[in-house]
Structure 1
Amino acid sequence: MKNIFLIMAIVLFSASACKKSISLEDPIAEEDINIIVQETETPNVYRFINGQIGNTAKAKWNLGNSEEAVGDTVIGKYPFKGNYTVKLSVFNGIKIVDKSIQISFKNDNLDLDPVYGFLTGGPNATNGKTWVLDSLIDGHVKLVNNGSTTPWNKLAKTNKGVYDDELTFKLAGKECLYKNNGNSYCHGGTIDGVTQFRLKELNANWGTVTSSTADGGDLMINYTPKDAVQHWEMEIRGGKHYLQLKGGAFFFFYRGISNVIEYEINSINENEMVVTHYETAPASRAASLWRDQYTLIRKGYQRP
C-alpha cells in the first residue's frame, strides 16, 4: 500500500455518529476546514476527503482536471503529469468556505482515460494520429435542427474542399494540425439579417479567407488558419468529453461558434470517431438547437 499523501491514516465515522448542528451561533471555524488526501494503488489517482466529514452538508469539489464532484469522499484521476489545484467548497454555518491544495504528478497515466490515446495515438505516436471525414458512408455529416436531420450522402461534397482535409492530433504539446490544402467549406447564407454571417465570423476570429464560391447555401473558401500549428484542449463535463480546437482548426465544415470551437465526442475507438458541434452563435441558432454531427475515420482505415 502506498504512503498516504499528507496523512498516514484516517478513521472515518458515520455521518450519524458525528453529525453536528451548524448554526449562526456555532459555525465551523474556517481554519478547521481542510482537505485530506490519500494516494491509491493506481498511479495518478487520489482520494480526497472533506476533513469535516459528517459536520457539513455535502462538499463540492473542483478537482483541477476539468471535473467537478459532490460528496465528502471523491476520487480524482489525472491522466497527464503536471500540477493541479484541487478546491473544496463547504458551508460552515455562515458562508461558503473554499480551501485549496496543490498536487503534482511526474508521469502520465493515459490508461485512466483511453480517449486521449484514441485521439492522438498515444505517447509513442510522435507524428500523432490523422483523422478524415468518412466520406464513403451516407450521413458522414448530419445537420440537425429541432429534430429534423439533413444528412450528407456519401461523396456528396467531392471536389468542394472537404474530403482532402485532414486533422492530425499529437499528445505532445497538445498540437493539432489542420491540413486543408488551401480550401475549406463554410456555412453560407444569411443569418439574422447578416449576409454570409459565418464567413464574416470565421474571417474575424479564426483565420484568413481570401475568396469564396457559393455552393448551394454554403461556401467553398480559400482559407488559412490563424496559427500555423493549432492546438487542442479537452474538458470533461458531466462525464462527457468536449474537444476544443484552437488557432483556427475545425472539423472540415465551419458551422459557427461563440468563443471556442468545441465538439462533444460521442464515441471514439482506434479507427472511428463521432463528434457533435452545438451552434452557440447567434442566439437564434442556439435557440433552434442547431447541431452538426461528423463521422470520422483514421486516415488509411478501410471499413471491413
Structure 2
Amino acid sequence: MLDHAGTAIRIRPTGAALGADVEGVDLATLSDAEFAVIRQAWLDHLVLRFRDQTIDDHAHVALGRRFGELDFNPGTRLTGKVYVEGIPEIVKISNIIENGKPVGELGAGEADWHSDMCFIDTPPSASLLRSLEIPTDGGGDTSWINMEAAYAALPDDLKQAVEGRSIKHDAVYVSSGKQRPGTVAPESGDIRDIAGAVHPIVRTHPVTGRRSLYLGKRFNAYVMGMEVAESEKLLDALWDHVMSGDFRWTQHWRVGDLMIWDNRCTMHQRGAFDPSMRRLLHRVVVKGEKPA
C-alpha cells in the first residue's frame, strides 16, 4: 500500500502482472492533485479499479475528459445510434431488453480478447467503464493482459520476426463474423483485401516510452507483406505466447466499480454470464494517437 503526499489516496497493486486499486478518493469531487496521482498510477499499473463510487453520467464524462478529448463508440459513428440520451459520449454495455429492443451493446455473449477500436487509425488511449447492474452469479468478469510484459517476455526469434512489421486490423467484420453497418466486404473474400487500419505489431507508448505488443484482435488480422499462411503462422505464435504467459489480471465486478485502463498497452476480455441476469455498465473512451 502506498500513500501519496498531499492527498489521502492509497494505491494498492493487485500483485498480478498489472492492475491496482485506488482508495481514499471520491471521483465526483476530484482535485487536480488527486487526478495527478491517479494519472501517474494509470501509467504505472495500466489498469485501475475504484470501488464504491456513486458518480453519475455527467461526472463520468467529466472524469474521462481529464484524460483527454472523448471519442464516440464505433457503433455510434457508423449508425448514429446513441444509448444515453443527451450524453453521446456514454455508451451502454448491456444484455437488457426493454420493449423488445436492446438498451445497450454487446449483449450476453463472451467477448474475445481485443484492444478497443483497433480497426481505426487513432484507437483510444483510455477507456473508463462503470458498473450499474451486475449478475448475481459472479459471471461477466473482465480480464486484462499486460502487453508490455508480453513483449518483454517474447523469445528472441519472435522479437526478430515482428520487428518493423505491421498488422491490418479488420474494419468490416466483428469477431462473431457479423458485418459492421456501413462497411463493404471485399468481393475476393481474401483477408488481404479487407478494409482496416494498419498498425505496428510493436508500438511505443507516447508517454512512458515503453514498448508493447499491439495485436488488437485475432479475427481476420493480417501481417502486411506476408503470404496469408505465413501471416497466420506468425499470428498464431504471438497469440499462443500472450495467452500462455502469466500476464493477466481479472476484475470481479461489484456495483459501484469504475475501471480505467490504458488501451494502448493492454488487451481485455469479458467472460460469460447467465443471459437471464441483468448486466449494465456505462463506458466512455478517450481519443488516442496513431500507434507508432
More strand per residue: 1 or 2?
A: 1
TM-score (norm 2): 0.23
Q: Return the structure number with greater relative CO, CA threshold 8 A, min gap 6.
A: 2
More helix per residue: 1 or 2?
A: 2
